[in-house]
Amino acid sequence: MFVWVFHRISGILLIFLLIFQLSTGFFQASSSNSELVRTVALLHRHAVSLYLLVFLLIFHVLYGVRTMLMDLGLQRERLSFWVCTILGLILFAVFIVLYSTWIAA
């Protein structure tokens, strides 16, 4: 039940976060030097929104693949949940390490 609810909520949040990232990206590419443009451009580069976007994307994809496998007849529901969760946490940890050392530094 948790995976079903999380998958739906993460899908909705991903839509809003992608719209947010796209719209703030337009402000970042603007040649205007106004205070509003600079403030919105800083929001685009804020790490928390990017971390949330990647976290939701990783788990949305993994739980979606899990749901498809369950629909195809996979019998190990609890095992597949833990495999997807642990794999998602590992992928997200790798992303945080790589982003903080290569990009944010």
* pLDDT tens readout for residues 86-97: 999 999 999 999
Structural domain boundaries, residue 61: 2-103
Q: Which amino acid is at 48?
A: V
Tell me how far CA of residue 85 lies from CA of 13, 27, 73, 77, in angstroms: 19, 35, 20, 12
| pTM (two decimals) | 0.84
> What residue has token string 């998602």?
88
- Per-residue pLDDT at 60 exceeds 70: yes
Say how far apart CA 84 and CA 87 lie, in whole Å: 5
Split into its structural domains, the chain has a count of 1
